[in-house]
Amino acid sequence: MARIRKIQIRNFRGIRTLDWIPSPGINCLIGSGDTGKSTVLDAIDLCLGARRNIVIADSDFHKLDVEQPISITLTLGALDEELLSLDAYGLFHRGMAPNTTAIEDEPRRGLETVLSLNLTVLSDLEPVWTLQSDRAQAQGIERNLSWKDRQKLSPTRIGALAEQNLAWQRGSVLHRISDERADASSALVKAGRDARQTFGVEADKLLGTALETVRATANELGVPVGENPHAMLDAHSVSFNGGTIALHDHGGVPLRALGVGSTRLLVAGLQRKAAATTTAVLADEVEYGLEPHRIGHFLVSLGCKEASPPLQTFMTSHSPVVLRELSGAQLFVMRRGSTEHNIQAAGTDDDVQSTLRSFPEAFLAPRIVVCEGGSEVGLLRGLDQYCVIKGWATLASKGVAFVDSGGGTPDKAYARATVFQNLGYKVLVLRDDDEKPTPEVEKMFVERGGKFMTWSDGLALEDELFASVPSTCAQKMLAYAIELHGQQRIEGHLANISGDSTAYAKVSLEVATNSLSHESRTLLGRASRIRKAGWFKSISWMETVARNMLFPDWYSLHPAFQKKFEDLHGWANG
């Protein structure tokens, strides 16, 4: 079946300019909200859908500028014999280079023969569909796809109203999975109330292949339709056409009564069976109505795990579950620029794939702080939680996600940050300063627009904390460390670092008398960050420290320490 090779959108809703070469299989648009992902799906549906007319309003024009026409162009490849017919479309055939994706007005050897369908809407709000061809335009010839071909190429939309596909109406997935057709008129004239049952017996025979496909697919996906689904007259239908015949379960209950998730899952499975007759599938917010375990079923049904994808699917998602299920080649990050939108494949490098598996939610945010370890993540999470309590603006409200690079060398944080940087995300690295990164690595990151923040010269996070907090806060932190690990272990850490078995007693006295010395602060910082035995080296532990002890003393913190968080919020606002 035909595939969409190129998408060009001009002045449609939030998109001023977009040119995109989609993949022939799964195309899942991701990124932050309000970047135009759903608009792309709507553009495909409006341009390629089997509609004789569409409703367009001034609000569909970019920035309400009706003087700039809406233009949506879809270039179609993998054409079948009817679309390759010289008599029907020969003057409108074009050539597309497989490597450069450049389009020439005439087909030739080495190029794929394609058709470019354009939808234009001027200020009169009247939509006009035409096939593009410079040759035809020079001769004053215009034409659209034939209505038959438009119906054949019309994409299937799996949305909140996917139940329309569970009746044998024109364009539905049931209409595509077999050539069988049932004539409802003979049953409807027989008798009123028992017409549904009477027709059901006949329809089961006429639509046996399709019903068996539905039963098998539903069983594979765990959708409850019973052992013997029937084709019966829809009790809610008032028109005598293909839509009058709908799927029912073994008890005669219309399958349209299934929940949204079950309906979408079943339609996706049936769509896979109808792949040979389907141009494209559109699914906005693919996770809608589906539990995490059924999201995987949904995606597999659309062929996400197959080397040669059976369907070309365009979807959007804000679900980390979806990102984990798909490969980097199936995920496309959409960005809004100053004058144009762009869409970029996430990629299949090992660093990209591992980041997708570990931090999928970060790909859904516009700004990312890559932390050297989990302690920094916990610190920032705790900061946000305290800001919520106080009614202050949070980093999360500004679209910031936190990523743990896993500790080790500072270069690891820059490697993780580069994955996001290459995809156009705004990235900041937050690292310790007790170990320095490779200068060339940090320099390259900064030259490409990245930012970094460190604790004071030569200090790790724990060093900075105990150096910056008032004695009352240090006392709470020490008590919390004892609660987590026991006093004996804390005493041992302090003794090992200082070489003095009485270190704990001395530090405790200073803390209790609000006279914590610089030497004791240094000792607490070093003892609390012993590798693999750190007092607060987990996200949840540091969250608690930040939320309940550190930031409630905000106005007593060292000014230099305060400024680091002010700078961080400034970066998030930029």
- Express each pLDDT in 425-471 by its tens digit: 999 999 999 999 999 999 999 999 999 999 999 999 999 999 999 99
- Is position 46 within any domain? no
| 89, 230: one domain | no
Do 411 and 364 meet the contact criterion of CB atoms below 8 Å apart? Answer: no
- Is position 246 within any domain? yes
Q: pLDDT class for 238, splitting at 50, 70, 90?
A: very low
Q: Which of 284, 356, 365 is nearest to 324 (CA)?
A: 356
| 72, 189: one domain | no
Q: Which of 73, 81, 138 is nearest to 113 (CA)?
A: 81
pLDDT tens-place string over residues 259-301:
777 777 777 777 677 667 788 999 999 998 888 988 998 899 8
- Is position 326 within any domain? no
Strand 245-248 versus strand 26-30 pairing type:
unpaired
| 79, 140: one domain | yes
| 444, 571: one domain | yes
Q: Which of 501, 510, 511 is nearest to 479 (CA)?
A: 511
Q: Does 237 score more than 60 pLDDT?
A: no
- Is position 340 within any domain? no
Name the domain boundary from 276, 308, 334: 276
Amino acid type, 294: R
Name the domain boundary from 258, 276, 294: 276
The residue count for the chain = 574
Distance separating the N- and C-terminal Cα atoms of the chain: 46
- Is position 213 within any domain? yes
Average pLDDT score over residue span 175-200: 58
Range of the domain at 441: 365-574
DSSP states of 494-515 as a string? HHHHHT-TTHHHHHHHHHHTT-
Amino acid type, 368: I
d(Cα 349, Cα 555) in Å, to the nearest integer? 45
Amino acid type, 267: V
Q: pLDDT class for 191, splitting at 50, 70, 90?
A: very low
Q: pLDDT class for 250, splitting at 50, 70, 90?
A: confident
| 127, 230: one domain | no
Q: Does 383 score more than 50 pLDDT?
A: yes
d(Cα 309, Cα 25) in Å, to the nearest integer? 5
| 80, 160: one domain | no
| 443, 528: one domain | yes
Q: Does 114 score more than 80 pLDDT?
A: yes
Name the domain boundary from 276, 306, 326: 276
- Is position 334 within any domain? no
pLDDT tens-place string over residues 209-228:
888 888 888 888 788 888 88
- Is position 248 within any domain? yes
d(Cα 244, Cα 26) in Å, to the nearest integer? 33
d(Cα 340, Cα 218) in Å, to the nearest integer? 43
Instruction: Return all residues near 160 (Cβ < 8 A) that are at least 6 apart.
Output: 260, 288, 289
| 120, 138: one domain | yes
The overall pTM is greater than 0.75: yes
pLDDT tens-place string over residues 505-558:
999 999 989 899 999 999 999 999 987 789 999 999 999 999 999 999 999 999
pLDDT tens-place string over residues 483-505:
999 999 999 999 999 999 999 99
| 160, 147: one domain | no
| 570, 426: one domain | yes
| 533, 510: one domain | yes
- Is position 300 within any domain? no
| Overall number of domains in the chain | 3
pLDDT tens-place string over residues 2-36:
999 999 999 999 999 999 999 999 999 998 888 99
Do 16 and 10 meet the contact criterion of CB atoms below 8 Å apart? Answer: yes
pLDDT at 178: 65
| 487, 515: one domain | yes
